[in-house]
């Protein structure tokens, strides 16, 4: 009857978040990328700091696993106090003798480390903690609907743990739909709220289509069409 107490807990799993592994050692790189993919993450890899920085300029990542021993660490890991707010959290792979370079600025909430040699359960656990800090869920005063959350202080939105990379017009549209959840809004109402003027049906349809692709890409649809009337947000 106590057998369940002896079972090992399941390792933490991801939910499709994008993780960039920047590790020079081929063995560690393969171990980490394979493990993270099996745990439910979408993984990109780089073998140098410069290559990792180039990937960050081309694609949005939710977390970076970064070998602190790389000789060409870019600005991503230097001058971290002045890093932009949208920089992904960093999980450093560090040796004991390199901790003195990392510790003064660790504990800012967006960085953590594991000691090499790498232990997979520890990497998965610390990655999940960093991702939860990055998207902690709704706070008082933050508008939301189900797993859709908007933060008006930063003009950013999340669907569950997944950040939505919205343009200003897309954010205004989503905010307007959310404020009127369950109510059908006409194209004219939407256009005047988003742009301050009526821009025509085609412009509105394209904007709604782009927003719907981002919001409803993974998960039940929240943005719906009422043909001949307009659009509405709801379950």
Three state DSSP letters for 126-176 = HHHHHHHHHCCCCCCCCCEECCEEEECCCCEEEECCEEECCCHHHHHHHHH
Each of the 235 residues of the chain gets a pLDDT tens digit; together they read 444 444 444 556 666 778 999 999 999 999 999 999 888 888 999 999 889 888 888 887 889 999 988 887 655 555 444 444 457 888 988 887 655 565 544 444 478 888 888 888 889 888 888 877 655 444 445 567 888 888 877 788 888 888 998 888 898 899 889 888 888 999 998 988 888 777 788 899 999 999 999 999 887 899 999 999 999 998 7
In CATH, what number is assigned to the domain containing residue 185? 1.10.10.10
Count how many domains the chain has: 2
Report the alpha-carbon distance of residue 164 to residue 212 in Å, rounded: 11
Percent of the chain with pLDDT over 70: 77
- The model carries a pTM of 0.53
One domain for residues 109 and 162: no
One domain for residues 115 and 152: no
One domain for residues 22 and 123: yes
Give domain status of residue 139, yes or no. Answer: no
One domain for residues 61 and 107: yes
Enclosing domain of residue 164: 144-233
One domain for residues 11 and 82: yes
**Could you tell me if 170 and 214 are in contact, meaning their C-beta atoms sit under 8 angstroms apart?**
yes
Report the alpha-carbon distance of residue 59 to residue 77 in Å, rounded: 18
Region of 16 on the Ramachandran plot (φ > 0 left; ψ -120 to 50 alpha; else beta): left
One domain for residues 128 and 208: no
- Give whole-number Cα distances, 224 to 25, 65, 182, 186, in Å: 48, 38, 10, 12
Report the alpha-carbon distance of residue 206 to residue 25 in Å, rounded: 45
* Tens digit of each residue's pLDDT (9 = 90 or more) over 145-181: 888 888 877 788 888 888 998 888 898 899 889 888 8
Give domain status of residue 18, yes or no. Answer: yes
Give domain status of residue 73, yes or no. Answer: yes
50 φ/ψ angles, rounded to the nearest 5 degrees: -65, -40
Give the domain-ending residue among 75, 105, 134.
134
């Amino acid at each position: 009857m106590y057998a369940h107490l002896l079972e090992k807990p399941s390792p933490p799993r991801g939910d499709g978040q994008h993780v960039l592994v920047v590790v020079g050692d081929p063995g560690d790189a393969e171990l980490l990328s394979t493990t993270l993919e099996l745990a439910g993450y979408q993984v990109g890899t780089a073998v140098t700091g410069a290559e990792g920085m180039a990937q960050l300029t081309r694609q949005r990542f939710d977390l970076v696993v970064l070998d602190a021993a790389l000789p060409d660490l870019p600005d991503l890991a230097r001058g971290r106090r002045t890093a932009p707010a949208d920089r992904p959290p960093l999980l450093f792979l560090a040796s004991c003798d390199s901790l003195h370079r990392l510790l003064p600025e660790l504990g800012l909430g967006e960085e953590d480390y594991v000691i090499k040699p790498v232990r997979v359960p520890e990497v998965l656990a610390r990655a999940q903690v960093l991702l939860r800090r990055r998207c902690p869920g709704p706070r008082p005063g933050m508008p939301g609907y189900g797993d859709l959350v908007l933060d008006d202080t930063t003009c950013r939105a999340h669907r569950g743990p997944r950040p939505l990379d919205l343009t200003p017009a897309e954010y205004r549209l989503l905010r307007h739909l959310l404020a009127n959840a369950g109510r059908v809004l006409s194209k004219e109402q939407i256009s005047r709220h988003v742009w301050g003027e009526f821009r025509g049906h085609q412009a509105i349809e394209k904007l709604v289509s782009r927003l719907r692709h981002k919001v409803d890409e993974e998960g039940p649809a929240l943005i719906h069409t009422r043909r001949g009337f307009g659009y509405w947000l709801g379950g």
